[in-house]
Amino acid sequence: MENIFRKRRYLIPFRAVLLPQIFTDVLVIGGGVAGMRAALAADQHGEGVDIILTTKGTLKDSSTYYAQGGVAAVLAEDDTFDNHIADTHTAGAGLCDAPAVRTIIENAPEHIDQLIKWGMPFDILSSNSDGKTDQNVALGIEGGHSHRRILHADGDGTGKALAHTLHNQILENDSIRTFDNCFVLDLITDPDQQQCLGAITHHPRFGLQVIWAASTIVASGGCGQVYRETTNPAAATGDGIAAAYRAGAQLMDMPFMQFHPTTLYIAGAARSLISEAVRGEGAYLIDKNGHRFMPDIDPRAELAPRDIVSRAIIDQMAKTHHTHVYLDVRHLGDRFATRFPGIDRVLKSFGISATENPIPVHPSAHYMIGGIKTDLHGRTTLQGLYAAGEATCTGLHGANRLASNSLLEGLVMGARAGEAALESTLNPTRPSLKIVSDIRISDRAPLDLDDVRSSLRSTMWRNVAIQRTGPDLREVLNNINFWAHYTLDKIFDDRTGWETQNLLTLSALITQAALWREESRGTHHRTDFSQSTKQFHCHDLWSTDNDDPITSPIQTT
């Protein structure tokens, strides 16, 4: 990567002592499932800890709010932890870390019980065939799962229900202060970048502020906006991951972005997610000729892992010279609208009757598997900094995330990070108010930010998405480096500029990592290296200290 990505420590110049100062014990960055669960865990003992929870926008801006599928957990009598663990490893294509998989999966039931106590309205059905449990909670099935173990709420409104459940608990907790519309520009470290001391933030009303914290937790979500085609909300620009990278924390497994196979394809419209659970309930994928093609590709057909289904769709589109394929639910009849009321409403808003016509679908960027490296307590490689959720890489997902393991990871790891961060507040380091960021005024001509952002997202979609090849990746890097020279050297004073700088940084990291990994595995498919190899049976670790990645072995025990 170009030096400009590794040398730009902060996005803006500042002198900490001259800015408004806020002090707290625990700073949580992000208002999704991982962030809210971390904040609640940090005060679980009621010990008078002061917690600040910052959100880039509001509750509805998080990816959690839009999650449709559900939460995976072993609750049925005919299911076991070992089954769920095996399914996760199979989907992960050899890169899952065994301790992470077992820890998160085995902790699932207690977190589900806690949610139920907090009033989470999981769907309840009377039919034993739908995986009814002792708690009378209905269980669905999704791609890659061997048993029914997906808990859902309001059919396809699980994320919204989960977000409201956790938010209600936040509102009842006097120890947690919420700062909405608070953009975190950077994590502040001591001059030697040995410890995280908090963050510098911007609020439309209050301007720049420094929040000093004994412990900081990044739970800011993923970076789907790197790609033109994405299911992610507009806020998913990877700001927390980029800030952690600039602060010196290691990132892990950056080539791996998961593409959801089925998003609604309407020309000119945003890509609305069509949940994995729709295929779990029996939907078929057909091409423009009405041919159901997945049984030709994989014995699991539509319930194969997402990477397999996404590539199959792309290949079928190429074979039929068509812009999309179709999800056929006509045989489900009225059951579709009952089970998926939210999706049905979206389809009807576009004039589509799912009982009469197949649904046009196309893959889109969905979930960032790589991210900030953490251990199983949310600790990063930077002292005082913790992380949880999609912004991180724990080793749970390997090279391809198993459906509905994401909300589960956010719950479990959010709680564990919050608990660990609380312990660090017992011996806080006194922050130095003399931290200074000096940035020279750029002497290069400006580029139009909207053009940079649009061009970046388009080239990432064309060349660093479901199918990749070395020459294209090198060309993309050249383009990103050019845009970076005229964008990362600038000082911006608004969210658009900061987001664009973060998107450039993450695009460069994803592309560089994809170029380095000369194999195909999970969500990372190189047409010039079509097989998986032992050489790359490892994690790739990226930081500002090195041009090339450090590798670490997969944990098997």
pLDDT of residue 47 exceeding 70:
no
pLDDT of residue 550 exceeding 90:
yes
Lowest mean pLDDT among 283-292, 435-444, 457-466: 435-444
Lowest mean pLDDT among 3-12, 460-469, 473-482: 3-12
Amino acid at 68: Q
pLDDT of residue 474 exceeding 50:
yes
pLDDT value at residue 270: 76
- What is the SS3 assignment for 260-307? EEEEECCCCCCCCECCHHHHHCCCEEECCCCCECHHHHCCCHHHCCHH
Q: Which CATH class is domain 3-9+441-540?
A: mainly alpha
Contact 76, 201 (CB under 8 A): no
Helices (H) then strands (E): counts for the chain: 17, 21
The domain made up of 258-365 has a fold known as Flavocytochrome C3; Chain A, domain 1 (3.90.700)
pLDDT value at residue 546: 86
Residues 199-253 have pLDDT tens digits of: 999 999 999 999 999 999 999 999 999 999 999 999 999 999 999 999 999 999 9
Lowest mean pLDDT among 124-128, 173-177, 350-354, 409-413: 124-128
State how far the Cα of 392 lies from the Cα of 354, in Å rounded to an integer. 37
Name every residue whose Cβ is closer than 8 Å to that of residue 256 and which is 6 or more positions away in sequence: 95, 368, 369, 370, 397, 399, 400, 522, 523, 524
pLDDT value at residue 135: 65
pLDDT value at residue 492: 95
State how far the Cα of 389 lies from the Cα of 408, in Å rounded to an integer. 9
Contact 519, 531 (CB under 8 A): yes
Contact 318, 288 (CB under 8 A): no
Residues 426-455 have pLDDT tens digits of: 766 666 668 999 998 888 888 899 999 999
Contact 81, 102 (CB under 8 A): yes
pLDDT of residue 131 exceeding 80:
no
Name every residue whose Cβ is closer than 8 Å to that of residue 156 and which is 6 or more positions away in sequence: 68, 69, 275, 277, 339, 340, 341, 342, 343
Give the rounded percent of residues in the chain with a pLDDT score beyond 90. Answer: 83
pLDDT value at residue 427: 66
pLDDT of residue 346 exceeding 50:
yes
Contact 476, 464 (CB under 8 A): yes
pLDDT value at residue 378: 98
Specify whether 306 is catalytic: yes
Sign of CA dihedral 203, 208, 214, 216: positive
3-9+441-540 and 258-365: identical CATH topology? no
Q: How confident is the model at residue 129 (pLDDT cuts 50, 70, 90)?
A: very low
pLDDT value at residue 130: 52
3-state SS, residue 189:
strand
pLDDT value at residue 430: 64
Among the listed residues 149, 306, 416, 521, the single catalytic one is: 306
Answering whether pTM is above 0.75, one says: yes
The Cβ of residue 227 has, within 10 Å, a number of other Cβ atoms equal to 27
Domain ranges of the chain: 3-9+441-540, 258-365
pLDDT of residue 387 exceeding 60:
yes
Q: How confident is the model at residue 128 (pLDDT cuts 50, 70, 90)?
A: very low
